[in-house]
Structures are given as structure tokens and as C-alpha cells.
Amino acid sequence: MPEICRFFGIVITMYYNDHVPPHFHARYGREKASIGIESLQILEGTLSPRALGLVMEWASAHKSELMNDWVLARSRSPLKSIDPLR
């Protein structure tokens, strides 16, 4: 599970050859969620409101990079790191 970003204790990852729709995984402590790239909706899991807000702000700013990494992951190519939220 390659890590593509880390900020404020939140870890963003993507699995190779994961199921559709295109999504990424966010982990904050013991909380986990998978989030759709296009919809920015939680597909599974939960995050605290604070963590979710930070993840959504970050994902909104990096949608095209997330989709590029999704395509790379589907082809089992190395993923590119994405700048963290600052």
C-alpha cells in the first residue's frame, strides 16, 4: 500500500489494482476511510470531522494528481508523491 502523502498525522495511500470507483485511503490514528476521487465522498469507514475536513481540503486541491496516481496504481506502476496540506 504505497503512501502518497502525509500531513498533520494523516496518511494518504492507494492500493495497487484496487476496486473501482477511483479512490484513495486516509488514515488518522485508528480511524480509516476510503474516499472517492471524483465525488470526494466517503465510500467506507469514518474520520473525525477535523481529519475529514483536512483530507477534503487536500483532495480537492489535488484531484488531478490523485487520478493520475489511480491510473498508475491500476497499471502497477510506481505512484508519485503529492504535496501535503500546509
Grid coordinates of 5:
502523502
Q: In what order do the strands lie in the sheet with 42-46?
A: 3-7, 10-13, 23-28, 31-36, 42-46
CB 25 within 8 A of CB 13: yes
Question: Can you give the C-alpha Rg of the chain in angstroms?
Answer: 12
Alpha helices, DSSP H, located in the chain = 49-61, 63-74
Whole-angstrom distance, CA of residue 7 vs CA of residue 2: 15
| Predicted model pTM | 0.95
8-37 pLDDT, tens digit each: 999 999 999 888 999 999 999 999 999 999
Domain ranges of the chain: 3-74
